[in-house]
Amino acid sequence: MYEVYVAARFEAAHRLVGDFGPATRTHGHTYRLEVIIRGETLKEDGTLFDIGELKGAVDGLAASLHYRDLDEVPGLAGTNTTAENVASFCWEQLAPGLQDPGLDSLTIRVWESPEVYAAREGSLRSVSSE
Give the pLDDT means over successive 10-residue stretches in the chain (130 positions). 97 96 95 97 94 97 98 96 97 94 95 96 78
Residue type, 108: I
Crossing angle for the helix pair 51-65 and 83-94, nearest 10 degrees?
130
At 37 the pLDDT is: 98
CATH match of 2-123 with 3.30.479.10: yes
At 52 the pLDDT is: 96
Give the separation between CA 24 and CA 17, rounded to whole angstroms: 6
At 129 the pLDDT is: 54
At 97 the pLDDT is: 94
At 126 the pLDDT is: 76
At 101 the pLDDT is: 87
Q: What is the pTM of this model?
A: 0.93
